[in-house]
Structure 1
Amino acid sequence: MQWRIGPDRACGLDRCRIMGILNVTVDSFSDGGLYAEVDQAIGRAVAMVAEGADIIDVGGESTRPGAEPVDASEQIRRVVPVIEGIVRRLEVPVSIDTTSAAVAEAAIEVGASIINDVSAGGDDPRMFDLAADRRVGLILMHRRCRPSEDSWSDAYDTAPEYGDVCEDVRSFLLDRARCAVERGVRPEAIVLDPGLGFGKTVGQNARLIGAAGRFVGSGYPVLCGASRKSFIGAVTGQSNPGDRVAGSVAIAVWQAMCGVRLFRVHDVLPHVEALAVVDRSRTMADSAKSAVRQLFESVHDAGTMVDLQ
């Protein structure tokens, strides 16, 4: 499977791909303020690519629970010089994390080739038209409400209500993908993100993680965005987001074994190493299955019985 991320560009999904998170914000939940300066941000991108990141995801607006909106002009001021610098120095694709078509367009003008929209096109009706016109990759994420109205996964006074959280999220994403295609977005440009940590309790996130195969079976590539999130801390007891690396990697490994191929992460190297093992193990397992299948086919063709002991 390939993910089309430009008129003449594709990202092969024969192995796991790492999207390194680069927040050029002052209030992101894990790294807000660390890369607010252009040189710092570009340096961080260079470091993540050196560790094995396949894509850099640049965002100028925090999506943590309680975060206030940032207007398009300020987002553009934050992200455009960073994307320009990354594109000049590195050859990896750049994604723009925004719900604003104006911000996405400004980012595409300076080299971004993927739109990562946590509102799945809900915040700005122009987003699908832009993605179709510019033929870029498009990530559609599920959420229940805007970040300013949301809560941490382990801190809801009243749990978000779903019929079946897995089916509800899956149906929502497939409907948004259908809408995008109707507006001219190529199906092969679309990726689905179940939105772990967005409008879900700890238990609801766990059910979504366990149901990864249902999303993979949709026919669209799936992105896992669990990195350092509060529901991991609720399970491991780690209140500091930076101490949730092991839990983040554990989820990524499980998701990869279920067929997920895209991972949006803060900690690139641990994910690269763990997922390389998954990729290699899967390749070896596929080779073994192929060998057994060929054996049985040859036996069937010969019309003989073989003692497999």
Structure 2
Amino acid sequence: MGETNVKILYLTDLYYEAKGRKYFEEDLYISGILKEHFDIALCHPKNSKDFENDVDLIVFRNTGPVTGFEEEYESFVKRVTSNDIRTFNEFVGKADMKGKQYLLDLTLDGYPVIPTIDDLENINLIPDCEEYVIKPKDGADSIGLEFLTKSELFEKNLVNMLIQPAIDFEYEVSFYFINDSLEYALYAPNKDKRWELEKYEFSQRDKEFAEKFIAWNDIENGIQRVDACRTKEGELLLVELEDLNPYLSILELDEKTKDDFMNHLIIALKNICD
């Protein structure tokens, strides 16, 4: 029994399998600590409807790509917004929560993002290169991602696809936020092994880069992950802003960082319910 009477419905898919990640282990760890502070129940979002009005807060965590249960997800979002149910993350994000349109918008607005288009008529807006990346606008977890030459690009059906230059980067790095506070950063020194992560000591400039996207997205309550790549020229470019259910790689953290993160998460959840 938790130390308060606050009831949390923790949404997760303990059976979802992701390459290089163990979603169930992360969520069992997080929920195991939260139960010392809240009354908590775990549930898949497909089955949450009958429980939603009986709790004080819904925490949306490692459910896997929502494309796997799109109809149920859309119904869930309609219910929580129309019934004013408190959620963490709150469903006001403009990034992955709504697909990949934001990459197009940020490109046009001049943000430091991998240049992105969705129409070959605009190919002059991205660098000319030997290889391009295409990915579905509503994709997740690298599903549907392909590498193509320019000639292959013009032969492909690109309806509902994003087009980007294939960036020859040094490494990928992720910045993890609770609300608007940067908690830690991890990076993949070997760019061919995205989920073999190490602690990343970020600079003030790195921090300001990540905070720029958190400020743009304007989520007050939630966990967000800013994924970026370091170019050969030393600049950071946004790869994606995960604002729905970012995997945290929390079990790979040192004990102090892990404890600090969980303490800050508990405080953030309590503040919503006060």
TM-score by length of 1: 0.31
Alignment TM-score, normalising by the size of structure 2: 0.34
> If each structure's strand is expressed as a fraction of its own residues, which one has the higher value?
2
Q: Which has the larger radius of gyration?
A: 1
Q: Higher helix fraction: Structure 1 or Structure 2?
A: 1
